[in-house]
């Protein structure tokens, strides 16, 4: 039992959330729920990034005052988290001058006291879409390719952050995994960037040009750069800079920041630099996920290929979308979304997969054993093992061990669970989901091999043991599914009258309800 602090990025509110944002929420939530089930005390933070030119520009386009605009947009993100059944502990937003500003300003002061903030003139190109300075070599035909717009040419007086001073230290912390970057390929990518040298970063903008933001402490003619403001959310939500900073003492450093690959540089170079300068511990890890694509390109408002998560949820339910993200999108590479793929996954994984299995097993127990199965003796359980080597047990080399693993409970406890835990701990939730579904496949095969629905007529006692094993399988599936599909998991446990709160040993399964778990579309 320990503490676990996990964060999502804070979302820009300039546009409505799409599937990419929903994915970041769900991925983080699966991990947060998994850690909670493992007994950790979890602080799970999400929120919105509301300052900067990007949001101002969108408010102007909507002919709304910026405060009202961001508030309304924030509510959509809050609603998304609710609709997706995200178990966040807190929701921070950067225009909150009570909860967020004091900590952001304190961090600035700490960096300043260290001598790492100085005034200078910046001349360069600024991409509002990125909220970052970019260089000529980032452009295609004079435009930022990600946002399809010509960047602004700025020449202005700014404060700079002396990031260059920390390049060596950041590099070494990442190299030796004190700040661990998942996956390895992203670690190498950022090490290559750092290896080329880190330049100091412009850390403020003149208030006359951009006043929607946090005033620089001691100089209100300047507004904090939106990324400097935004990154500090990970501290401010815990109470950093406020009197009630108990959560900061308890939960910092973060165990993992979950981010998309396009914001790696901010999190793995600038953020550690800021923390080192302020004398604060670095996060333990950063999980860099791939992007949801549509039509082979990143899903984004700019490209106009967004899919609305609210629509999918209202048609298929949040659990279905959560499982699609969990199983069908590889965490560390890009994953394509299409309506057909989604529908096909819903039908095969849920309706014909989990839903069908649970219903069949529960129905057989109801029909043949009045809905009640007492636990058989261990020797009996072991007497009806898997008939064939399973995909998972075939990975074992020792013949005796192999045989033992073929008893269903043994196989689940000694083979499936350990594999699942390793995958979850490595943040590879899609692999853990695969493990769940390969267990389901083995269990389906077991039904076919023994045909308990026929056997019950000739050897009722053997059929009883087989059904015990199958129910054991169903309940184990429910526990493994819990981080992905918490409601479905509870429904399965309820079907077999298993208490969803405790993981005590199962002495009997009693069929309580047996309704279809998923609607057929
Ligand atoms: N506001 C910044 C983050 C500041 S964190 C201190 C930002 N916001 S964002 O709204 O543009 O993106 C938020 C997250 O959503 C990022 O991690 C980004 O990678 C993720 N996604 C946006 N589009 C995405 C996909 N198409 N697919 C998956 N995630 C993507 O960046």
Question: What CATH number is associated with residue 366?
Answer: 1.10.730.10
Q: How many domains is the chain partitioned into structurally?
A: 1
- Please report whether residue 125 resides in a domain: no
Q: Using most ligand atoms within 8 A of CB, pick from 6, 8, 11 the residue to mutate for ligand 1.
A: 11
Domain that holds residue 378: 339-510
- Please report whether residue 515 resides in a domain: no
Residue 21 Cβ contacting ligand 1 at under 6 Å: yes
Strand partners, 287: 182, 258
Residue 288 Cβ contacting ligand 1 at under 6 Å: no
Q: Determine phi and psi for 279, rounding to 5 degrees.
A: 75, 30
Cα-to-centroid distance, 180 and ligand 1 (Å) = 20
d(CA 147, CA 227): 18
- Please report whether residue 162 resides in a domain: no
d(CA 151, CA 422): 45
| CA 271 distance to own-chain centroid | 20
| CA 80 distance to own-chain centroid | 14
d(CA 50, CA 229): 10
Residue 181, CB-side half-sphere exposure with 13 Å CA sphere: 26
Confirm if 10 and 230 have CB atoms less than 8 A apart: yes
- Please report whether residue 245 resides in a domain: no
- Please report whether residue 443 resides in a domain: yes
Cα-to-centroid distance, 20 and ligand 1 (Å) = 7
Average pLDDT per run of 10 along the chain, which is 521 residues long?
A: 95 94 98 97 98 92 96 98 98 98 98 97 89 87 88 92 98 98 98 96 94 96 97 98 96 98 97 98 98 92 90 96 98 95 96 97 98 95 84 68 75 92 98 97 95 97 97 97 98 93 81 88 74
DSSP state of 284: S
Residue 282 Cβ contacting ligand 1 at under 6 Å: no
Residue 461 Cβ contacting ligand 1 at under 6 Å: no
Instruction: Produce one character per residue of 402-422: b if its CB has 16 or more CB atoms within 10 Å, e if not.
Output: eeebbbbbbbbebbbbebbee
Quick one: which atom of ligand 1 is closest to the CA of 262?
19
Confirm if 320 and 350 have CB atoms less than 8 A apart: yes
Cα-to-centroid distance, 9 and ligand 1 (Å) = 7
Residue 1's nearest CA partner among 44, 32, 49, 42 is 42
Atom 29 of ligand 1, nearest CA residue:
20
Cα-to-centroid distance, 263 and ligand 1 (Å) = 7
Atom 24 of ligand 1, nearest CA residue:
20
pLDDT at site 223: 97
Cα-to-centroid distance, 24 and ligand 1 (Å) = 8
Cα-to-centroid distance, 361 and ligand 1 (Å) = 42
Atom 12 of ligand 1, nearest CA residue:
11
Helix axis angle, 167-175 relative to 184-195, nearest 10°? 160
- Please report whether residue 152 resides in a domain: no
DSSP state of 416: I
Residue 24 Cβ contacting ligand 1 at under 6 Å: yes
Residue 300 Cβ contacting ligand 1 at under 6 Å: yes
d(CA 263, CA 282): 17
Which residues, at least 6 apart from 252, have a Cβ–Cβ distance to it below 8 Å? 5, 235, 238, 240, 280, 281
- Please report whether residue 77 resides in a domain: no
Specify the pTM. 0.95
Residue 358's nearest CA partner among 491, 183, 487 is 491
Residue 419 Cβ contacting ligand 1 at under 6 Å: no
| Vertex 217 angle, CA 96 and 222, to 5° | 90
What SS3 state is found at 307? coil
Residue 230 Cβ contacting ligand 1 at under 6 Å: yes
- Please report whether residue 379 resides in a domain: yes
């Amino acid at each position: 039992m320990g503490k676990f602090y996990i964060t999502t990025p804070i979302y820009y509110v300039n546009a409505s959330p799409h599937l990419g944002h929903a994915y970041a929420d769900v991925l983080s939530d699966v991990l947060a729920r998994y850690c909670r089930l493992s007994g950790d005390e979890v602080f799970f933070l999400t929120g919105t990034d509301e300052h900067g030119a990007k949001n101002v520009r969108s408010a102007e386009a909507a002919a709304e005052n910026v405060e009202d605009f961001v508030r309304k947009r924030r509510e959509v993100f809050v609603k998304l988290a609710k609709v997706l059944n995200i178990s966040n502990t807190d929701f921070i937003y950067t225009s909150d001058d009570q909860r967020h500003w004091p900590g952001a300003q304190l961090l600035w002061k700490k960096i300043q006291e260290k001598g790492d903030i100085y005034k200078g003139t910046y001349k360069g190109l600024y991409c509002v879409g990125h909220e970052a300075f970019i260089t000529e070599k980032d452009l295609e035909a004079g435009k930022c390719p990600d946002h399809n717009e010509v960047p602004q040419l700025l020449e202005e007086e700014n404060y700079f952050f002396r990031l260059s001073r920390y390049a060596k230290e950041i590099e070494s912390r990442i190299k030796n995994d004190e700040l661990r970057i998942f996956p390895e390929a992203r670690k190498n990518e950022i090490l290559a960037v750092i290896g080329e040298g880190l330049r100091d970063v412009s850390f403020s903008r003149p208030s006359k040009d951009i006043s929607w933001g946090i005033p620089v402490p001691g100089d209100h003619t300047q507004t904090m750069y939106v990324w400097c403001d935004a990154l500090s959310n990970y501290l401010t939500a815990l109470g950093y800079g406020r009197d009630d900073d108990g959560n900061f003492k308890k939960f910092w450093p973060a165990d993992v920041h979950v981010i998309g690959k396009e914001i790696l540089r901010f999190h793995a170079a600038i953020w550690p630099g800021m923390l080192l300068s302020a004398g604060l511990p670095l996060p333990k890890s950063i999980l860099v996920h791939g992007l949801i694509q549509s039509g082979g390109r990143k899903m984004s408002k700019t490209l106009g290929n967004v899919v609305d998560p609210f629509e999918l949820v209202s048609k298929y339910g949040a659990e279905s979308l959560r499982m699609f993200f969990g199983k069908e999108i590889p965490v560390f590479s890009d994953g394509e979304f299409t309506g057909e793929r989604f529908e096909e996954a819903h039908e095969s994984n849920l309706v014909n997969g989990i839903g069908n299995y649970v219903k069949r097993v529960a129905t057989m127990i109801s029909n043949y054993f009045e809905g009640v199965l007492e636990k058989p003796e261990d020797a009996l359980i072991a007497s009806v093992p898997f008939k064939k080597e399973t995909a998972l047990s075939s990975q074992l080399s020792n013949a005796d061990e192999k045989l033992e693993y073929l008893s269903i409970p043994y196989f689940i406890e000694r083979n499936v669970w350990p594999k699942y835990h390793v995958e979850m701990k490595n943040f590879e939730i899609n692999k853990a989901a695969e493990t769940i579904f390969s267990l389901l496949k083995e269990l389906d095969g077991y039904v076919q091999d023994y045909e308990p629905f026929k056997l019950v007529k000739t050897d009722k006692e053997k059929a009883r043991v087989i059904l015990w094993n199958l129910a054991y399988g169903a309940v184990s599936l429910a526990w493994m599914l819990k981080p992905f599909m918490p409601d479905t998991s509870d429904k399965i446990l309820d079907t077999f009258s298993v208490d969803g709160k405790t993981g005590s040993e199962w002495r009997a399964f009693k069929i309580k309800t047996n309704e279809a778990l998923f609607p057929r579309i």
